[in-house]
Amino acid sequence: MIFVTSDFHLGHKNLLEKYQPNRSHWPDVEAMNNGLLQEVHEKVGSEDELWFLGDLFMAGSKDRAQEFLRSLVKTAKRTLYIPGNHDKEAVRKIDPQWLLNHRVILGEQIHETKLRGRYIVLCHYPIESWPRMVYGAWHLHGHQHGHGRKLSRRMDISWDAHNRILTLEEIGKILDLDEPMKHHGH
C-alpha cells in the first residue's frame, strides 16, 4: 500500500497552539511529535511505501533533520520525500548515502510519477495548473493544512486537513469522482 501525508511540523510549538482543536489532545510538542510518528509506525508496514510531501519539522540542523527522518521512515519499505518550505534547507544537506541507507528518495520540487497508467504530480505547494492536468493527472500537495481552495483532481493531503494519514487508494476514490479540468491557458 502507498500512504500519503505531509506537514507534521514536528517540534513546532506555535502550530500546536494555532491548529487546535485538531491537535489539542496533545498536551505538549513532545506528545504531538510522538503521536504523529506513532500513527505512521502503526499504519505503514515493511511492504508499504510512504509519500511525505514536506514540512516534517521546522527549520533546523542537518542532524535534527536526520533524527526526525530516521524515525519517520523506519517502518516503510521506502519513502519518497518532497521537501517543504520549513525543512528543505536541512534535508538537502543530508548525505545521499545516508538517504540511500534509510530507503529515502528525495523528490523534485514538482515531482511527476506514473502509477497504473495514471499521472500524479506531487509538490509541497498547491499548483494552479499542473503537468497533464487536462488528461486527468492528479495533483497532491501539502502546505495549506486544510485551509486552501479545492480544485478538481487536486487534493490537500496534509495531516491537518484529514487528522490522519491517507492511503493513495482512498485519495483515488475521491479524485476519480472529480471532473477533469478544462484547459484555459497556454
Q: Which stretch binds Fe ion (CB under 5 A): 17-25, 36-44, 48-56, 168-176?
A: 48-56
**Count helices and strands in the chain by DSSP H and E runs:** 7, 9
Q: Is 84 in the site for Fe ion (CB under 5 A)?
A: yes
Total number of residues that touch Fe ion (CB under 5 A)? 5
Among 2, 4, 5, 7, binds Fe ion (CB under 5 A): 7
Amino acid 170 reads: E
The answer to whether the CB of 50 falls within 8 A of the CB of 72 is yes
The vertex-7 CA angle with 123 and 124, nearest 5°, equals 10
CA dihedral 120, 124, 130, 131 (to 10 degrees): -50
CB of 110 to Fe ion, least distance (A): 15
CB of 20 to Fe ion, least distance (A): 16
Q: Is 129 in the site for Fe ion (CB under 5 A)?
A: no
Site string for Fe ion, 134-173 (x = CB under 5 A): ---------x------------------------------
The whole-angstrom separation of Cα 8 and Cα 19 is 11
The answer to whether the CB of 82 falls within 8 A of the CB of 36 is no
Q: Which is nearer to Fe ion, 55 or 156 (CB)?
A: 55
Q: Which stretch binds Fe ion (CB under 5 A): 1-9, 105-113, 149-157, 160-168?
A: 1-9
Q: Which stretch binds Fe ion (CB under 5 A): 36-44, 54-62, 95-103, 170-178?
A: 54-62
The whole-angstrom separation of Cα 150 and Cα 119 is 19
Residues interacting with Fe ion, by CB under 5 A?
Answer: 7, 55, 84-85, 143
